[in-house]
Each structure stands twice: as structure tokens, then as C-alpha cells.
Structure 1
Amino acid sequence: MTGELSPIDKAKFVAAKKSVEFVEDGMRVGLGTGSTAAWMVRCLGELVREDGLKIRGVPTSTRTAALAREVGIEVISLDEARWLDLTIDGADEFDGEFNLIKGGGGALLQEKIVATASDRMIVISDVSKEVENLGAFPLPVEVIPFGWQTSKALVEEMLDSMDVLGQSSTLRMNGDSPFFTDEGNHIIDLHLTRIGNPRQLAMVLNQIPGVVENGLFIDICDTVIVGFGDGRVQVRDINDDSVEEDKLEFVDSDNLFTDLSE
């Protein structure tokens, strides 16, 4: 099965496979949302079923919760867990200071809450997500439905004073209807091209009435695991400024790859 994967999917898989080595018996683990995180959940499920790993997972979306239950991971709420040992999630972009853009899958609010309630956050990614400056990927901003057009206008007006190249924004759609998050909110995607000061932008966005949260994750990520299409992985840790490299061999597993349609 792995022979049929594209280089990008192989890179996502090896990053996810490497990340579960950091999960220990008895941990409470935040389970991210997205295509790379789905690989991780599958890998964790395999460890639970075949190696007897005992963990409790706190998912960041309804679809991650469904996948976790499907592969045999015990799912609990964040209120039940109260605090997490580790969160593993993907990212749409990351820079050299481990600042992230997340929310391409629409789960940024739960993802940020879970990540900040963890002792450690590990981001898993293929190398294509690494950028010098954030902003090529549209920045998601979650807003409540009431007055969303006013919130959108206020965001666009605020962008005039920010260090960004683009200033356009669009309401995320699901077919012909607005997209709704798990919390019943809308998402406005900001097309900024380049974000010169992510920290400032994140703070100012959250001061706008109607804005619930934004997809800039600042000072949250501790470790980035970067996968490559040839099976190489780099583990980069911001706390000790270290980079470790490994190479994983691909082993076909019907249980792992069956029905994975990310």
C-alpha cells in the first residue's frame, strides 16, 4: 500500500509514525485534525491494538473523534482530562521560530485550546509546509455567525495597519452554503501572502468584536517533526535548539491504511 503513496503522503506518514514514539503508556494525548494528524491517529491505534498501549485521547474535532474510536483509542473530553501530557497535530505552515498557521480543516479553535492545555505540542508536517514567512496559506479567522459581515469588514480595516502584503478576505464555503465549525461558527480566510509580525497580528485579531479565535499559533509548538518523501524525518526541538535525523522504512499494514481517505 505504501508503494502507492505520493511522496507528500509518504512524508506525512513518516512524520506521523515518528511522532507516536513520544507517546508513553498512561498519557493523555491531544489528537489533532487534518490529513497528517489522521496518519498519526492510525499509527496510535495500531500501537493500542497490537502493543497494548494504554492512552486516553482528546480529539480536536468530531471527525478525529470518530477516527480515534474506530481504531480503538479511548476518547475522553478535555474537561475529563483537565490537562494533557502531549498534543500531536499538523500545521498548514510553520516558520523557523515554530510559529504556525492552522485551521485549514476548520478546527482551529479546539486545536488551540487543546494544544495550550498540554505540557508539550508536537507538530507533524511534510517539508513543503516549512516557510520563511507565514502567510502564503490563507489565515483562518473564526467568527460568530451574528454580524459576520461586520466582523469581516472590521478585520479588513484593521489589516491596513498591519505588516502584511495582501488584505483580501473570503467567507469559507461548504458548497453553496457557509462553512460551519464544530462550534457553529463561520471562518473568514485572510489572503495575506506574507505576515511580517505574526505575534502582533494574532493579538489584534482577537480584539475585534465577533472574532472567536485566529489560526496563528504563537509560542505553543515545542517540537516539529518534518517528513520527507524518501522516508527521512527530522525532529527539531525549539527548547534545546536541536535537530535529530532518522530514516523510517515503509512496512505495508492493511490495518493501518484501510479506508484512510484523507
Structure 2
Amino acid sequence: MSDAEAARTELAMRVRGLTVDYVTDRSSTRVLDGVGFDLVSGRTLGLVGESGSGKSTTIRAALGLLGATAQVGGEIEVCGVDMRSARRGELQRLRSAKIALIQQDPRNSLNPVRRIGASMCERLVAVRGIDRRTAMDRAEAMLEAVGIRNVGQILRQHPHQLSGGMLQRVVIAAGLMADPELILADEATSALDVSTQAEVLGLIAEQQRSRGLSVLFVTHDLHLASSMCDRVAVMRAGSLVEELAGRELFESAGDPYTLELLEATPILGGLR
């Protein structure tokens, strides 16, 4: 194995020159333009920027989840798989076995008419072929791992019976059911109150440490990015303008746009 090949095996994600154009019969609109970054295995990379900067589109493009009107260009590798050339079956296996997507609103991630247990077990039963009892046992273990008590009761309930914070824990537990290698957290805590947000972020960090997970953390909160992420990439209007170490975000940013974002960050007690 060459040095280049060895280096690539240590990357959970490798993106080069990513472009996305939405094309219709009358027009073409570019929403991502030359995005590129590396997510090192076992580390956390933050994508930050204002709403509409392309953060969520980057995730969906990387997973091949954009609609038919989207034309995607560039190079995308996720968990060693070339997403541009992989066949549909290979993509489905990758998404079901190695990737967990945690979205902003947990209520949109769960079927409102299905019980929590059925939703959590669906991927293992339908995709992985695991029997339902084994899957349910694993669901109980995962709920306990994210700090939920009375798991038997929770598994029998419907999403509307749980709070937002509890549902987000359920979504995290569901994502961990298949022992993924990569978590994509797309504004996963922005809909939560501050105390619940801290608990959920702690759960993600704890699971990352114990399982060696790689995390792509999408947020508009620069304080969270600085504290949670090994590196932070700043997006503006579909492009990356700067990437730097998370701990250096507030001290070493040099791009004018990044500096504007930092200047707009709320101040508490005279300190950012």
C-alpha cells in the first residue's frame, strides 16, 4: 500500500471540488462551488456558516440524497467508498451499516404513527436481516447508553408522547444501533433548550470517545463548533472560505467573512 493509499484509509470523508447545480428546463443554479475538506477518522469536523451557506446541502450531496434536478460534480469518498461511482446497492449498504444521520428536528426523523421500538429496529430487521427480538434487545441497550430510563415504556410509546430532548436521545440511540463509523449531525441540537443541548452534545462526545466515531458537525453556533470540533470549516454562499483548528477559531480566524461571523457572536459577561 502506498503512502497516499494509507493516508486515505485514515479518512472518514474526503471531498474534493464538490459542486451542486439545480437544473431545470429554463435555468441552472449553482448552490455548491468547489467545496473540499478531509474528515480524519475518529475526529470531529465542524461546518459553520449562516443559513443558506450550503452546509446541509453538502451533507446530502455527500450521501447521494439530493433530488433528480441536482447535478453533482467533484470527488466524494465516505468510509472508503467512492460515492460518485458506487452502485445503488453499495450506497444503501453503506448508509445502513456505517453512517448515522442526526437531523435538526427529531420529530421529522421518526414516523409519528409508529412506536419508538418499531422505528429503532426497522433498519436492523429490514436491512440487516436481524430477528426482531435481538433488534429490540439492542434498542434497549442503546437507549440505556444515551441515558434513558424506563426503556421498556419508551419503546412502546409514540414520538408525540416524548419531549424534544428525549426524542433527540432516541434518534441518537437509533443512529448507533448499527455500530456506525460516521455520525453526520446536521444542526442536531439547534431546536433544543440550552441545558438539553449540553446533555445531547455530551452524549455524542461520549459515544465518539467510546466507539472511535468520526463526526461531521453542522452548526451555525460558533461557540459549539469551537468547543466540539477538532477542526472547523467556514462556509459562505456555497464555498469554503477558511478552515482552522477549533480551539483557534476565535483567535486565529483571518477571512473577512469569518471575522464578521465572530463579531456577530453574542457576548455574555463581556466575553465571547
| Bigger Cα Rg | 2
TM-score (structure 2 length as normaliser):
0.31
TM-score (structure 1 length as normaliser):
0.32
